[in-house]
Chain A
Amino acid sequence: MTSRTSNVSSSSRGRDEPARPAPTSVAPAPPGKPFQVKLVLLGEAAVGKSSLVLRFVNNEYQDNKEPTIGAAFLTQKCRLDDKVVKFEIWDTAGQERFHSLAPMYYRNAQAAVVVYDVTKAPSLDRAKSWVKELHRQANPNIVIALVGNKLDLVVSSGVPRAVDAEEARVYAEEMGLLWFETSAKTGEGVSEVFTEIAKKIPFDLLTPRGRPNAITGAAGANGGQNSVAAGADGRVDLGIAGGAQAQSGCAC
């Protein structure tokens, strides 16, 4: 308890704890021991990631929400059957300049919600490249949900749909993703995203109450200034790192 930093080395530590094997689907989790699920939201800027989370966490919605700066962290507890699941949610900024920071947030995540805007075709391409990156670099067991947001625009505002539902669904199926269409504005479909994710999380691999998932790396655990060395892979250098990445797809 002295320092939760010690948890940084994380998932392995969770598994090493023999005391709580948590065969969850059978035995109810003891009250007060929620399973923590680290979830990260990814997707192009302005597709509605923050709005989805705020709808889920606080049941609120705000038009013209300001862009997320860096990343926002929120938590939400849900009851799923006999378990309490606590989502630890990283809502990342969609701007290209923050791309280089993304691995810090999806590393060790058990779930990812990759969001696109049903009225913007390029946003699906961006989502696909996030999925690719997750498959390549994230936790192999990660549960990924592909979410087409802003359904309200198509349904009631007469904005033409730019991403065909069937096309997205087929893609999701091929890639083994959950797939949803939502409206953070009306709330439609939002809680389903998180419920279905929770259902797919392999809880038998998790220990309640651990922190299997800091944004972390070796660096944090050492503390101290030596961690600068980690700056080489985890660079602070936002803008240029992003700009220099050929695959980043920015049109600079």
Chain B
Amino acid sequence: MGDEKAKQDSAIFDSTGGGSDSDITPAFLTPAEPEGDNDGDQSSRKIGKGSVGGDETAAESSSVAPTERSSAASEAHSHLTGDGPPNPPSTPPATVDIEGAVADAAAETVLPMRGSKKRGPQRAVSPAAAVPQPGQRMRLHHHEDVTSPRWYAHKKHFFILSSAGKPIYTRYGDESKLSSFMGVVQAVVSFFAEEEDGIRSIHTPTHTFVFLFRWPLYFLCVSSTPESPAQLRDQLRTYHTQILSVITNAQLQRIFSQRASYDIRHLLSGTEIFLDNLPKSFHTTANYLLNAVPTLRMNPQLRAQLASIMASTSTIAPRPKALMYALLVANGKLVTLVRPRDHSLHPADLHLLLNMLSSSPAFRHGKVESWTPVCLPRFNPKAFLHAYFGSVGAEEDSDDDATGPGPSRPQTPPSYTTSWSEGSSMVLVLLGTEREAFWDMRDYRIRVSEDFATSGCLKGLEEAVRNDGIVKIPGNPHLLHFFYKSRTAVQYTEMHPTGPLAYRPSPNSLNPLGTPTLLSNRPPIELASAGDLVSVEPHNRSSDSVPSLLPIKPPHPLPLYPPVLLLYTHLSSVLSQQAGSRLARLSTDTVTVAAMVTQREEVYVCVGPWCEGNEIDKVVRGVVKWGREKVGEIVVGNAPVF
């Protein structure tokens, strides 16, 4: 056992265990290649991800080339119409997708708007906030289970169980009270697994059930949001990645090959905060939607200067030998990254780190430094790296300062707030191979932080943080928000939501996160059609739909008004399903969103409802033009390597 461990540890240093060596233009990111699973549909969301790895030509012919591949696969299509799902809230006829049979997109993808008609008897409104018992994990709705109507009313459930049917995680409620539910899930999955054909999704008019099997774990999402099965499956993969960061795949395999009924919950305990935070990341950032890395926009010279300070071989506190990656992150966005020449960092691993940062305020607290093992599954699924998190720009606690205060006195207020949107924390994330390297990492962080300050870079960085998301594009008065993604760099930037988007509607008047009712208010849903446009049937309006998004009162500014992100999500899935389409748009009472995919970029914009037709196109093209002009400020380019 000891030997085995030593071997695994040493695998950290095995260069073959590292990420891809392929060099692409923005050299630090591994291209977001499709996962090595055989789902067949892995590419359906990531529009044009194929363009990253170098087969530009393939992507050129069609911006949604991956989908074409999938439709080829769908010739082996076996489309089951069967009984309702075992345990859904309502059981109308359902469709079941079987692995290897890819949905004929238009016909089968349950158009999410149908979900808006749900009026299940159990549907309840604005569930009460969880009141965790002291000392317990802050669970969402921990008192709920399969007998509570409210439990069924949540828009999106995530479940994780072992292949033996043991509950591991639930987003809502207490997983240990869901054993019978998990048992049913396990039975369903196993049933199909025996047919040598895994179950992939179940569609009901109101809900989509999406399954992911990664031995020894089963993942299930039950959703009534307008996200496509492919998008939901990507989210399940993110859950899988998150688990692997805590328990390496090698450990999992070993545990479950020895004892199939093992309960791994205590190995995960404490890290549920990362899992709990994922849905928030899905709905408040475009990290997963765009499958790209958010960057902080800044002057490229400044970025280069920051990077060179980080890469510098200063004699005062040299770069620790154990250091693999040094990331500077501000406002949840990447500023720069210094890495070894032959090890790029996969966006999925980077997303993992960003999710960790966003999950735990301690990682961003100006007075706290953290040191923890973490496995980056794309870098090396077998071993842990050691991660250091420490702030830069915070007041340094100098030893020479003799005016030591007494033990209890008021201090400066904490430098973090509960969310990135309010804080402007700048964090250095250092990943290394030695678990004892904390002091080296700390010295390095202090040195870098001081050099930032003395060189004046810190001021520039702080200014970039202050200006984060503030964009003026001349001649686009209607623009409320946009994402601009450089597909070659796999990075994106955004404009802060403005106008009505900047506010959360009053909680009792409107749909909480994730509701599709937004889509249901204005028939027909307009999607530009023909040629490079997409058209989609308007769905039936539901008479009981919740009206208008216009803000009642603006109590809480949000980083991004979540339903708009869902609208983008929907556009993205429409685009990925329609071969050859490059532009789509969709209107509601209050906003119009549009998406455009070109060879070089992906753009999502949101404009006010008064903006129509050609004007929208003009806005989109304006953003594209802006992005191309500013690409130097957006993209974290060739940061120094060592």
Contacts and interface: CB of A to CB of B under 8 A. Distances in A.
Interface of A: 1-5, 7-8, 31-34, 45-47, 50, 56-60, 62, 64, 66-79, 84-86, 93-98, 101, 104, 117, 119-120, 150, 153, 159, 187, 190-191, 194-195, 209, 211, 214-217, 219-220, 223-225, 227-232, 234-244, 250-252
A69 B360 contact: yes
Given A86-B399, A97-B267, A232 B2 contact: yes
A56 B407 contact: yes
B255 A220 contact: no
Interface string B381-403: 00110110000000001011110
Interface in B394-424: 397, 399-402, 404-411, 413-414
Most buried by A among B12, B359, B401, B439: B439
A7 B404 CA distance: 24
Interface stretch (B150-158, B288-296, B430-438, B530-538): B430-438
B6 A73 contact: no
Given A86-B399, A236-B384, 11 more contacts: A4-B443, A46-B136, A58-B411, A66-B361, A70-B387, A93-B270, A98-B270, A159-B134, A214-B438, A239-B246, A252-B263
B347 to A, nearest CB: 22
Nearest to A46: B135
A187 B132 contact: no
A97 B411 contact: no
A223 B439 CA distance: 12
B110 to A, nearest CB: 36
A214 B315 CA distance: 21
B405 A79 contact: yes
Nearest to B322: A223
Contact of A74 (B132, B368, B387): B368
Nearest to A187: B408
Given A74-B368, A231-B10, A237-B384, A117 B135 contact: yes
B214 interface: no
Interface string B127-167: 00000101111100000000000000000000000000000
A61 B407 CA distance: 16
B434 A50 contact: no
Contacts of B138: 64, 66
Given A71-B372, A79-B404, A5 B360 contact: no
A221 B413 CA distance: 37
A216 B439 contact: yes
B404 A77 contact: yes
B439 A84 contact: no
A68 B5 contact: no
A220 B440 contact: yes
Contacts of B269: 45, 67, 95-97
Contacts of A72: 362, 368-371
A62 B321 CA distance: 37
A239 B251 contact: yes
Contact of B406 (A58, A75, A79, A217): A79
B316 interface: yes
Contacts of A1: 316
Contact of B247 (A73, A84, A227, A239): A239
Contacts of B411: 57-60
Nearest to A234: B435
Interface residues of B, number: 79
B436 A236 contact: no
A194 B407 CA distance: 8
Given A71-B371, A120-B135, A209-B399, A60 B404 contact: no
Interface in B250-276: 251, 254-255, 262-264, 266-271, 273
A76 B405 CA distance: 9
A154 to B, nearest CB: 11
B539 interface: no
A72 B9 CA distance: 23
Contact of B266 (A2, A8, A73, A96): A96
A203 B386 CA distance: 33
Contacts of A104: 435-436
B400 to A, nearest CB: 5
A237 B272 CA distance: 19
Contact of B402 (A84, A223, A232, A242): A84
Contacts of A229: 6
B136 A220 contact: no
A233 B188 CA distance: 44
B367 A57 contact: yes
B9 A228 contact: yes
Nearest to A233: B2
Contacts of B372: 69-71, 93
Contacts of A94: 270
Contacts of A215: 371, 436, 438-439
B317 interface: yes
B373 A195 contact: no
A70 B407 contact: no
B136 A234 contact: no
Interface string B4-18: 011011101100000
B13 A228 contact: yes
B318 interface: yes
B46 to A, nearest CB: 30
A50 B439 contact: no
Contacts of B254: 240
A228 B134 contact: no
B107 interface: no
B76 interface: no
Interface in B1-42: 1-2, 5-6, 8-10, 12-13
B335 to A, nearest CB: 23
A195 B397 contact: no
Contacts of A68: 270, 362, 370
A20 B577 CA distance: 74
A190 B436 contact: no
4 closest Cβ pairs, A-B complex: A70-B372, A77-B404, A31-B402, A46-B135
Contact of A59 (B247, B268, B401, B410): B410
B318 A3 contact: yes
10 contacts: A34-B402, A59-B408, A66-B362, A72-B362, A74-B368, A77-B405, A150-B134, A223-B321, A234-B435, A238-B373
Most buried by A among B1, B262, B435: B435
Contact of A241 (B5, B273, B318, B439): B5
A217 B436 CA distance: 7
A108 to B, nearest CB: 12
A97 B270 contact: yes
B267 A243 contact: yes
Given A70-B372, A234-B436, A240-B251, A228 B6 contact: yes
B117 to A, nearest CB: 37
Given A3-B317, A34-B399, A187-B408, A237 B5 contact: yes
B407 A58 contact: no
Nearest to A87: B407
A100 B372 CA distance: 12
A70 B368 CA distance: 12
A75 B386 CA distance: 21
A96 B264 CA distance: 12
Contacts of B132: 64
A88 B407 CA distance: 13
Contacts of B134: 46, 119, 150, 153, 159
Contacts of B408: 56, 59, 187, 190-191
A2 B269 CA distance: 40
A97 B373 CA distance: 11
B266 A237 contact: no
Nearest to B360: A66
Contacts of B9: 228, 231, 235-237
